[in-house]
Amino acid sequence: MNLSAVVESVIFSADTPLSLDKLCELLPEYERGAIRDVLRDLVSLHEVRNGGFQLVNIAGGWQFRTPSSLQQYVVRNVKAKSAKFSQSSLETLAIVAYRQPVTRAEIEYLRGVDCGGVLRTLLERKLIRILGKKDIPGRPLIYGTSREFLEVFGLKDLKSLPTLKEIQALDDVPLFERQEELLLDGVGAASTLTQVALDLQGEPEQ
């Protein structure tokens, strides 16, 4: 059996990114090194092909994704069923992403409004998670982003969040003309998140 075809089909059929460990678990008849080599080859193959999808490392796993350059065409078909965020949710999520671990009080200080409802919504959507309690009087909960956050925003890890210089270098930074509903996907989504953080508090800490 062609291992490249096997790995490609398993990743393509998965609902979430698959780590190398998971792939080895699913394909015990193949050596770990062989699977790793196939992943590298598939990444190169799809980059050279320059087609409608690429194999990328997202949230610690491998997944096929549409290139950000094709986003404007893809959203015509998936817009109706894609996740959308209110401006308040996006602002709160941006603060959590760049300032984590962060408490509700710290978020509300930066936003200037109550964030209880927004935090509950983000928790329900599994975009943020409770990391524990801060060791200060009252022991407030502290929040951070989740694996699902990385998947939604097309990030390998938190270090992949765009910096101010990267945002300024983009030619097509999303505008906030639709502040009530923002469709987020891949690089454009991460760039949007960074721009919100900048608008709220200056250059985000990395």
Residue found under tokens 């894609």: 82
Q: What CATH code would you report for 79-201?
A: 1.10.10.10
- Give the residue, 129 or 176, on which the prediction is more confident: 129
Give bridge partners of residue 119 from the DSSP assignment: none
Two structure tokens written together for 43:
């990444």
Cα separation, 57 vs 80, whole angstroms: 26
| One CATH from 1.10.10.10, 3.40.190.10, 3.10.150.10, 1.10.260.40 for 3-65 | 1.10.10.10
pLDDT for residue 131: 95
pLDDT for residue 164: 54
Percent of the chain residues topping a pLDDT of 90 = 43
Instruction: Domain ranges for the chain, please list them.
Output: 3-65, 79-201
The 10s digit of each residue's pLDDT in 117-130 is 999 999 998 999 99
Range of weakest confidence among 25-39, 58-72, 139-153: 58-72
pLDDT for residue 176: 35
- Give the residue, 50 or 184, on which the prediction is more confident: 50
Residue found under tokens 């590298």: 40
pLDDT for residue 148: 87
The 10s digit of each residue's pLDDT in 7-41 is 999 999 998 899 999 999 999 999 999 999 999 99
Is the peptide bond prior to 204 cis by the omega test (within 30 degrees of 0)? no
Q: Within its chain, how far is the Cα of 146 from the centroid?
A: 9
Whether the domain at 3-65 and the domain at 79-201 fall into the same CATH topology = yes
